[in-house]
Structure 1
Amino acid sequence: MAGTQYAGATLEQQRLAALRGYEILDTDAEQDFDDIVTLAAQLCDKPIALISLVDADRQWFKARFGTDVCEGPRDTSLCTHAMFDENVMQVPDALLDPRFANSPTVVGHPHIRFYAGAPLITSDGRSLGTLCVADREPGLLTEPQRHGLRALARHVITQLELRKYARDMHSLHQRLRNAEQMKDEFIARVNHEFRTPLTAINGYLEMLGDPELPSESRDGFVQRVQRNSDRLLALVNDMLLAAQVSADSREFRRVPADLAALAHTAVAANRPLADAKGLTITAETSGPVFADVDVLRMGQALERLILNAVKFTDSGSITVRAETRDGHAMLLVRDTGIGISEDDQTRVLAPFRRSADAERNEVQGLGLGLGIVKAISEGHDGEVRIESRPGEGSTISIAVPLAGPYPDL
């Protein structure tokens, strides 16, 4: 019995998802649908005709003829019964039908006595509601009228499908345009980010080939070649990691881990980088914070948050914190850097997209760091949160489901 109830609930959820997928509920009147109810009323010779869409707890009328009622409760709706009938459901006299005799629309306005409804069934068998006609007097449809009502009901579905197809095509076109724009941005940025260090390396190598170059200059050039080589290697590593953690290729090995320990490890590993820029970096933890994570991937995400903080902070401090909040295990990186405007906070999470301040200040990078963090967070059923204002620093956090503690760790 419980299994049958669960199956029924699942089917209803799927039906409601299909209905809402058409994005038709609570939309304005449209001539195409108004024409259909007018034709239905004329065909069936009835004063009332409706396109009724049955939502979770109401029926809503996309088009109506002969009544000004916009919606009504589902539990007393005749359409709720009719939409699951394979044929046109007719109620010759609602006052004599025990299912509907006490319905508000029967005993009250608009005092329905006769009702006929043809189900609105999608191509995959989901029933969205009905195309129905009604009268304040008892009655019965003829066979041609029933066939005509079914044909018009199919036309309602066709109109819904055409609108959904148009929206999908528009969305696809927009995604293609965005992808094309992203490709152009990617090519331009990669060209710039790779060409700059390669050009520098090539110039230094040419000078190193001069046999009369003083040894002290030679050592300085070698160091510059090494720095630019490291920059190239970091760019390549970011591109490879972005590909590895993309939505289509995530393979995370999640185990119980203490995010507080991960925070301390990441701070220790990146302290020389912060020190070189004159920044203070610390880890703040008050105890273990357990979550099921891929330690390597989560470490990579945290490292990119720290690298971003160092890159965009000229003076002050960086704080890495692990804590629990609202059922989540949190890793937070707070800095005193240039901050991120509200308009840019969504943009910077997309691959190859950078903030306007980063572009203006010509900060190096492909714009992959936060995209990588977002992909890794979502691969752990989590999310990235940004709290920031321009000139006031940023707090960027990774929130994943809390787990543990695990006493045998």
Structure 2
Amino acid sequence: MAEAPAASDATERTQELDELNALESLLAPDFQAIAVSAAHVCGTPIALVNLVAEDRQYVKGRAGTDLTGMNPPVPFCEHTVAGRRTLEVADARADPRFRDDPIVTDPPRVRSYTGTPMITSQGNALGTVCVMDHRPHRLDAAQHQALRTLATHAVTLIELHGRAHQAEEVVRRLHALQQLKNQFLRNVNHELRTPLTAIRSYLELVREGGLDEATEKHFLQVVERNGDRMLRLVDMMLLMASLNAQTATFTPARVDLSGLARQAVELSGPAARLKGLSLNLHALGRVEVWADTEQLCTALLQVLDNAIKFTSRGGAIDVVVTAGPEPEVEVHDTGIGVESDDLRRVFDDFYRTPQAEEQAAQGTGIGLSIVEKIMEMHGGSARMESEPHEGACIHLTLPAPRGGPTVPGPAGGRVAADEAGSGPEYQKKK
């Protein structure tokens, strides 16, 4: 038995089968009807409509057999797909390519085969419409034409079903996106209205007068704090828009990742102390990366803000900088964690986890999305590992600096947000 020739479009075929969702539903009525018609027109006891992908054959329609799939595929069909034209074997026992194959020597003891490839509009041969007999058999011209017509009909159905599935998926995604946008608008409305209401109320009290100097100063500080909150939100939305439009400034240079992480930890220290959190940096030396200092610092601050927001009072946040082939910052927290189903969505635009909604946590769902976009701008990546109620770890990975690997520097040690060198030693999570 000779091996089937390798199909030139094997990779493209598998990809298109996946795009068309063709392998999700097998033995569909439409394809069953095509198989029955092929057997009837060609006067054979067996007919198949089948797809070939990744060394396996999938049956979409059948007549005269209970086959649902074969691994490896029937050699006749492999040859048909590879040859991309009709294959007719009048007597398999007389053909050295097939005479020793189990499908010929053992039940169902196929003696003759005729198959036509199903070639899509993209030019990939997805599979075959074929007929088989237990005796030597040769089709006439009319039967050959009928088989080609049925193969064309079958591949058209596959493409139509695939496009329908893609359209349904697009509608589903648009609906989900609309829901996210609606949620985003509600969140923005809340995030803007709350500080605006506070600003207006405190300014009215100040304008009415009669306040002692200390109270008036306190009220003005509240106004300033809420104004800063609004400004940060506007800045975030503008940054999100520029990242999506790929117009954000990007001026990379050699940067010490450890120093940048230390700066972010120091800036986040007051917020951590306000919640009684332990915030520690673990960076053993200088780690050089090729990065835009301002953008990367923004990403680090967003990740730290997220960790602080979802870590309960008394918890801990550890920032770990590692060198290696790909420099990385890991931010571990002991917060509420994220369900596994939500992990793939936490970096989506406007997405907020159910836990964030339940806790009515501040935010618009764009923080981690901004982080991912900034990392992609650098040629790096962002990912999260988490278990519910067991905290989360966000990994920010960057490429090594241009012109060489990471350059080690003097030992940097660990810096805590509240006091340098304080706090327990941290063991990196595996």
Give TM class, smaller chain.
0.7 to 0.9
Displacement, 1:302? 1.2
Are the equivalent residues in 1 in contact too, given 2:7–2:83 (CA < 8 A)? Answer: no
User: Aligned residue for 1:221?
Assistant: 219
Q: Whole-Å Cα distance in 2 between the matches of residues 345 and 73 of structure 1? A: 35
The count of aligned residue pairs is: 400
Q: Secondary structure at the match of 1:112?
A: coil
Moved more, 78-87 or 295-304: 78-87
Change in Cα spacing, 1:341 to 1:51, as seen in structure 2 (3 Å) is: closer
> Is residue 359 of structure 1 aligned with residue 357 of structure 2?
yes
Question: Is there any run of 5+ residues in structure 1 with no aligned partner, and where?
Answer: 1-7
Assess, with a 3 A threshold, how the Cα gap between structure 1 residues 341 and 100 changes in structure 2: closer, same or farther: closer
* Distance (Å, rounded) in 1 between the aligned partners of 2:42 and 2:354: 62
Q: Quickly say closer, same or farther: Cα 1:38–1:336, change in 2 above 3 A.
A: closer
1:395 deviation in Å?
Answer: 2.9
Task: Map residues 8-407 of structure 1 onto 2, 5 A cutoff.
Answer: 11-25=9-23, 27-74=25-72, 77-85=75-83, 87-210=85-208, 212-246=210-244, 257-289=255-287, 291-313=289-311, 314-323=313-322, 329-342=327-340, 344-379=342-377, 380-390=379-389, 392-400=390-398, 405-407=405-407
Q: Distance in 2 between matches of 1:50 and 1:11?
A: 22
Q: Which moved more, 1:290-299 or 1:141-150?
A: 290-299
CA, structure 1 residues 385+61, in 2 after alignment: closer, same or farther (shift >3 Å)? same
Name the SS for the 2:15 alignment partner: helix
Is the Cα contact below 8 Å between 1:388 and 1:395 reproduced in 2? no
* CA pair 150-248 structure 1, distance change in 2 beyond 3 A: farther
Give TM-score, length-normalised by structure 1: 0.86
Instruction: Indicate the SS of the match to 1:35.
Output: helix
**Alpha-carbon distance in structure 2 between the residues aligned to 1:385 and 1:81:** 46
* Structure 1: distance between partners of 2:253 and 2:110: 63
CA-CA distance at 1:86 after TM superposition? 5.2
Q: Which amino acid letter does the alignment assign opposite residue 385 of structure 2?
A: I
Stretch moving more, 163-172 or 144-153: 163-172
**Residues 364-407 of structure 1, C-alpha deviation per residue, up to 9 Å, x if partnerless?**
222222222233344434231132432x5433332456675345
User: Which deviations, in whole Å up to 9, do the C-alpha atoms of 1:344-383 show, x marking residues without a partner?
Assistant: 5445433333334433433322222222223334443423
Structure 2 CA distance for aligned equivalents of residues 156 and 375 of structure 1:
43
In structure 2, distance between residues paired with 1:253 and 1:127: 47
Secondary structure at the residue paired with 2:67?
coil
Name which structure has the greater RCO, CA cutoff 8 Å, separation 6+. 2
Secondary structure of the corresponding residue to residue 367 of structure 1: coil
Whether the aligned pair in 1 keeps the contact of 2:319 and 2:329 (CA below 8 Å) is yes
Deviations 1:264-309 (A, max 9, x none): 2211232233334443322112344555544433322111111122
Q: Is the 8 A contact 1:385 1:398 kept in 2?
A: no
Paired letter, 1:317: A
The residue type paired with residue 58 of structure 1 is R
d(CA) in 1 for partners of 2:249, 2:41: 60
3-state SS of paired residue (1:209) = helix
Superposition TM-score, scaled by structure 2 size:
0.82
Q: Which moved more, 1:367-376 or 1:70-79?
A: 70-79
Tell me which amino acid in the other structure corresponds to 2:301.
E
**Distance in 2 (alpha carbons) for counterparts of 1:214 and 1:101:** 104
**Matched residues in 2 for 1:248 and 1:146: separation?**
55
Structure 2: gaps of 5 or more residues = 1-5, 410-430
Q: Which amino acid aligns with 1:405?
A: P
User: For 1:146-190, what per-residue CA distance to the aligned partner results, in whole angstroms no more than 9, with x for missing partners?
Assistant: 111111101111221221122112112211211221222122111
Return the alpha-carbon distance in structure 2 between the equivalents of residues 408 and 367 of structure 1. 37
Output the aligned Cα RMSD.
Answer: 2.9
8 Å CA contact 2:8, 2:82 repeated in 1: no
1:271–1:281 contact (8 Å) kept in structure 2: yes
Q: Secondary structure at the match of 1:50?
A: strand
Secondary structure of the corresponding residue to residue 83 of structure 1: helix
Report percent identity of matched pairs.
38
C-alpha displacement at 1:211, in angstroms? 5.2
For the Cα contact (< 8 Å) 1:54–1:74, is it kept in 2?
Answer: no
